[in-house]
A and B are shown apart, each in its own frame.
Chain A
Amino acid sequence: MPAAGSSRPRPIKTKGETMLDRTSAWHGEYILEVDNITKEFPGVKALDGVQLKIRPGTVHALMGENGAGKSTLMKIIAGVYTPDGGEVRFAGQPLDVRTPLDALNSGIAMIHQELNLMNWMTVAENIWIRREPLNRLGLVDHGRMRQMTAELLGRLNIRLDPDQQVGELTVAQKQMVEIAKAVSYNSDVLIMDEPTSAITEAEVEHLFAIIRDLKSRGIGIVYITHKMNELFEIADEFTVFRDGKYVGTHPSADVTRDDIIRMMVGREITEMFPKIDCEIGETVLEVRNLTLPGVFHDVSFQVRAGEILGIAGLVGSKRSNVAEAIFGVHPAPIGDILIDGRHVQITCPSDAMGHGMAFLTEDRKESGCFLILDCLENIQSALITRSHVKNGFIDLRTVAAKAEEMAATLRIKTPSLRETVENLSGGNQQKLLIARWLLTEPRILILDEPTRGIDVGAKAEIHRLITKLAAQGVAVIMISSEMPEVLGMSDRIMVMHEGHVSGFLDRAEADQVKIMSLAAK
């Protein structure tokens, strides 16, 4: 990363300078102060008099379980929601933001938890939207926009073509575009809501380098994550919320992991990866020389009953494409898929489900949730094609009962299962999808980033469930970018690199270094 120049380029401020410049006499301790903020949604008190104080030039982590109200507070600060009560002060002065534009103009930028990009537009257009450089005629200067993008991406070490359409990027690359866009605002406060949930360790390091650079320029960063190790690596301070209430703020050097978890959850969580070695049976799924030309090549592996096969790899390793191909999302890959030793033809997902497969996809917003339907309808959607159908009608009562039970096990936080899924917090949406697939009682369970955006407590719960399913003889394939998860949960680990299998590791021999060397070879 190039050293930060003393002159921060500010080509993009459209209306005047930021608040910070206007109040140059300000020498307070906190750049952003949140005081006694309250926000209620129908049926939920999302925030109940919370506070948060951000110092300039520091990273402040905001922690809390799924549905604790973290994103809600950030959206209030960024002008997406208006609070019911309380005050936000910026550089010592009360801040009245009513729209995202107000927030941006005052010097507050945010990376939202869910991707907010325009798929059919280029990387450059996405980054500079509303701030396009204009030429003397008042027309958009595409040449300069491209150049500004190239400079920005170069400064951040992000290798992307400014002219590429965002819709063609991988989820991780899209996340990097979001990061670049947020940085481009040159804001005084930068909010990052789970920026690492969709990227792998290499990119996390990359992001941290960017964050350290921003920090050195005096920017206050609010950082939301469920990954404890990140907290200790990057955060100077942290604040914990629980159920919409403020619990406390501490320097991160003063506490241990367990302290934080106790603050977040209000109870002890002992075992993180409750893996039990269970009896491994016959091969259930076998894949031979699976190839999708131009995407992945010669992928072969087997998964046995009771076995958890972890798949590790960097972004671009095409792990998700393999899973999608097996599940019939991509039409007709070349190669053989055998279930119980017999060749099967899988041309669409319902074929796959007919063979007892379940597939939790990577992108919950695009290929997971039906956002405008309610929780129960979301859970049902996978059941309709399988059991629980009597005389052509879904047996709603049984489904509802099972869904309630699963929701309780996974601690899905929602006023009721009749709540629209769009209104659930990100982590709770993820839990809902897991509930959906678990209720299909699969024999082969394919999980792509199963605990993305899920809090520690629920994570342990989900890991326990996966283990339990394996113990019941389910064959599990788990794609994960989280090293501890792959190492902690898998019986065997398959590592992929750019569309090829680069090796297998047994549970006993696997460690982070071995995986990384296979993944990046």
Chain B
Amino acid sequence: MSDASMAAAPRRHRPMMAELNILLVLVGISLTFEILGWIMQGQSFLGNWQRLSIMILQVSVVGIIAIGVTQVIISGGIDLSSGSIVGATAMISMSLAQAAGYERAIYPDLTGLPVVVPLLAGLLFGLLCGTINGVLIAYTRIPPFIATLGMMVTARGFAKWYTKGQPISFPSDSFAAIGKGMMPVFIFLVVALIFHVALKYTRYGKFTYAIGANPQAARVSGINVERQLVRIYAIAGLLSALAGIVVAARGLTAQAGMGTMYELDAIAMAVIGGVSLTGGRGSILGTMIGMVIFGVIISGFTFLRLDAYYQEMIKGVIIVAAVVADVYRQKKRKKA
């Protein structure tokens, strides 16, 4: 009897397929630049270790944000506030990280503090912003787009107000070390690893996917959907703050306008990496590949000495192409 009832033969689906597709896109784009490199510049694009490491360095700060954004999008939401949180956090942490004895410091009495102070202050600020996002979304049920748009404007306003528009510089050496050399890449890799594990192998991850796939199902399965949403957005805020600290430390200065448009770049990385804007699907691995694609395009254009304007235009095209590809994949699977 059960033979008849379950007649349709189950066809195994390999979850790795999505990432494999994106990887192929990455390989295709890289090879295109390689070929163009030989034709136009007479040299290899990929065969230059320094170029590659600079490329990764360029995207890893936004990459940190993209990790947080990935889990937000998987849960069915969106976070527009990341870029502004970067700006505000950069200001706050830098103001507490100024080198001892610097007389034009923001807080002249608070110079030369141990590095944990600016670090913690910045991270807590990001956590707070993210928590506010999460509470608004979970308990007032306003759309994530609106809640985080509000935070985007507010946090940017805060960053500008903080010093009335003045940049802050002269961090202590220990603070500057956070952004030195390949440190940002290292931080990114640690964050990525943690969240790869969290999303794939913990209940936190399963809840995130479940809420994105079907919030009602998550609720009747006994998941506290509201609490989970708050956690997700809080962590996204935290990671934006971390990115803000890294940016400030690397630049040795903080400005209110830092991180502008980072939210969109981060969303783009996730989307290129196969994270579905309808929620429920995507992975850290995908986002990482998306991030590298992003980097390859930027450094590829620089390498070919093409106008930076082309970069932006191509970036836009690729984002849309990635979503089109995702929609097409979904359709194909539905039919099967």
**Are A314 and B4 CB-contacts (below 8 A) given A164-B10, A164-B12?**
yes
Q: With an 8 A cutoff between CB atoms, is B213 at the interface?
A: yes
- Asked if residues B217 and A100 are in contact (CB atoms below 8 Å), the reply is no
Q: In whole angstroms, how far apart are the Cα atoms of A113 and B213 in the complex?
A: 19
Q: With an 8 A cutoff between CB atoms, is B333 at the interface?
A: yes
Using a CB-CB cutoff of 8 Å, which residues 307-336 of chain B contact chain A?
333-336
- Asked if residues B8 and A173 are in contact (CB atoms below 8 Å), the reply is yes
Q: Which residues does chain B contribute within 8 Å of A283, judged by CB atoms?
A: none
- Asked if residues B10 and A206 are in contact (CB atoms below 8 Å), the reply is no
- Asked if residues A176 and B214 are in contact (CB atoms below 8 Å), the reply is no
- Asked if residues B1 and A202 are in contact (CB atoms below 8 Å), the reply is yes
- Asked if residues B220 and A80 are in contact (CB atoms below 8 Å), the reply is yes
Q: Which residues does chain B contribute within 8 Å of A104, judged by CB atoms?
A: 222
- Asked if residues A173 and B6 are in contact (CB atoms below 8 Å), the reply is yes
**Are A118 and B202 CB-contacts (below 8 A) given A202-B4, A314-B7, A330-B335?**
no
Q: In whole angstroms, how far apart are the Cα atoms of A110 and B216 in the complex?
A: 14
Contact with B along A473-504 (1 / 0, CB 8 A): 00000000000000000000000001000000
- Asked if residues B206 and A168 are in contact (CB atoms below 8 Å), the reply is no
**Are A120 and B221 CB-contacts (below 8 A) given A168-B333, A173-B6, A316-B7?**
no
Using a CB-CB cutoff of 8 Å, which residues 100-156 of chain A contact chain B?
100-101, 104-105, 110, 112, 116-121, 125-126, 129-130, 132, 134, 138-140, 142
Q: With an 8 A cutoff between CB atoms, is B190 at the interface?
A: no
Q: With an 8 A cutoff between CB atoms, is B207 at the interface?
A: yes
> Closest CB-CB distance, B204 to chain A, in whole Å?
10
Q: In whole angstroms, how far apart are the Cα atoms of A385 and B219 in the complex?
A: 38
> Closest CB-CB distance, B5 to chain A, in whole Å?
4
- Asked if residues B5 and A203 are in contact (CB atoms below 8 Å), the reply is yes
Q: Which residues does chain A contribute within 8 Å of B334, judged by CB atoms?
A: 167
Q: With an 8 A cutoff between CB atoms, is B85 at the interface?
A: no
Q: With an 8 A cutoff between CB atoms, is A170 at the interface?
A: yes
Q: Which residues does chain B contribute within 8 Å of A164, judged by CB atoms?
A: 10-13
Q: With an 8 A cutoff between CB atoms, is A78 at the interface?
A: yes
Which of B2, B205, B214 has most chain A Cβ within 10 Å? B2
Checking B8, B200, B217, B224 against A101 with a beta-carbon cut-off of 8 angstroms, the contacting residue is B224
Interface of chain B, main secondary structure: helix
**Are A119 and B1 CB-contacts (below 8 A) given A100-B220, A315-B8, A498-B7?**
no
- Asked if residues B216 and A130 are in contact (CB atoms below 8 Å), the reply is no
Q: Which residues does chain B contribute within 8 Å of A170, judged by CB atoms?
A: 8
Q: In whole angstroms, how far apart are the Cα atoms of A80 and B222 in the complex?
A: 10
Q: In whole angstroms, how far apart are the Cα atoms of A117 and B209 in the complex?
A: 12
- Asked if residues B13 and A129 are in contact (CB atoms below 8 Å), the reply is no
Checking B7, B197, B213 against A120 with a beta-carbon cut-off of 8 angstroms, the contacting residue is B213
Which of A78, A80, A100, A105 has most chain B Cβ within 10 Å? A100
Closest to B11 in A: A168
- Asked if residues A118 and B218 are in contact (CB atoms below 8 Å), the reply is yes
- Asked if residues B6 and A176 are in contact (CB atoms below 8 Å), the reply is yes
- Asked if residues B224 and A206 are in contact (CB atoms below 8 Å), the reply is no
Q: With an 8 A cutoff between CB atoms, is B77 at the interface?
A: no
> Closest CB-CB distance, B152 to chain A, in whole Å?
27
Q: Which residues does chain A contribute within 8 Å of B216, judged by CB atoms?
A: 116
Closest to B207 in A: A130
Q: In whole angstroms, how far apart are the Cα atoms of A200 and B7 in the complex?
A: 12
Which of B3, B205, B214 has most chain A Cβ within 10 Å? B214
Using a CB-CB cutoff of 8 Å, which residues 209-231 of chain B contact chain A?
209-210, 212-214, 216-224
Interface of chain A, main secondary structure: loop
- Asked if residues A140 and B206 are in contact (CB atoms below 8 Å), the reply is yes
Checking B3, B12, B201, B218 against A159 with a beta-carbon cut-off of 8 angstroms, the contacting residue is B3
**Are A121 and B6 CB-contacts (below 8 A) given A100-B220, A129-B218?**
no
Q: Which residues does chain A contribute within 8 Å of B11, judged by CB atoms?
A: 164, 168
- Asked if residues B206 and A132 are in contact (CB atoms below 8 Å), the reply is yes
Q: Which residues does chain A contribute within 8 Å of B281, judged by CB atoms?
A: 120
- Asked if residues B206 and A119 are in contact (CB atoms below 8 Å), the reply is no
Q: Which residues does chain A contribute within 8 Å of B305, judged by CB atoms?
A: none
Q: With an 8 A cutoff between CB atoms, is A420 at the interface?
A: no
Closest to B204 in A: A140
Q: In whole angstroms, how far apart are the Cα atoms of A116 and B220 in the complex?
A: 8
Closest to A129 in B: B221
Q: With an 8 A cutoff between CB atoms, is B280 at the interface?
A: yes
Q: In whole angstroms, how far apart are the Cα atoms of A160 and B2 in the complex?
A: 10
Q: Which residues does chain B contribute within 8 Å of A405, judged by CB atoms?
A: none
Using a CB-CB cutoff of 8 Å, which residues 30-89 of chain A contact chain B?
78, 80
Q: With an 8 A cutoff between CB atoms, is B203 at the interface?
A: yes
- Asked if residues A132 and B10 are in contact (CB atoms below 8 Å), the reply is no
> Closest CB-CB distance, B60 to chain A, in whole Å?
26
Checking A100, A159, A168, A314 against B221 with a beta-carbon cut-off of 8 angstroms, the contacting residue is A100
Closest to B211 in A: A118
- Asked if residues A112 and B5 are in contact (CB atoms below 8 Å), the reply is no
> Closest CB-CB distance, B10 to chain A, in whole Å?
4
> Closest CB-CB distance, A138 to chain B, in whole Å?
7
- Asked if residues A99 and B3 are in contact (CB atoms below 8 Å), the reply is no
- Asked if residues A158 and B206 are in contact (CB atoms below 8 Å), the reply is no
Q: Which residues does chain A contribute within 8 Å of B203, judged by CB atoms?
A: 130, 132, 134, 140
> Closest CB-CB distance, A409 to chain B, in whole Å?
32
Q: Which 4 A-B pairs have the closest CB atoms?
A: A118-B213, A159-B6, A101-B222, A316-B7
Q: List 24 A-B contacts (CB under 8 A).
A: A100-B221, A101-B222, A101-B223, A116-B216, A118-B213, A120-B209, A121-B206, A121-B210, A125-B210, A129-B207, A130-B207, A130-B223, A139-B197, A140-B202, A157-B2, A164-B12, A172-B5, A199-B5, A202-B1, A203-B5, A206-B5, A314-B7, A316-B8, A330-B335
Which A residues have a C-beta under 8 Å from some C-beta of B? Answer: 78, 80, 99-101, 104-105, 110, 112, 116-121, 125-126, 129-130, 132, 134, 138-140, 142, 157-161, 163-165, 167-170, 172-173, 176, 199-200, 202-203, 205-206, 294, 314-316, 330, 498, 520
Which B residues have a C-beta under 8 Å from some C-beta of A? Answer: 1-8, 10-13, 197, 200-203, 205-207, 209-210, 212-214, 216-224, 280-281, 333-336
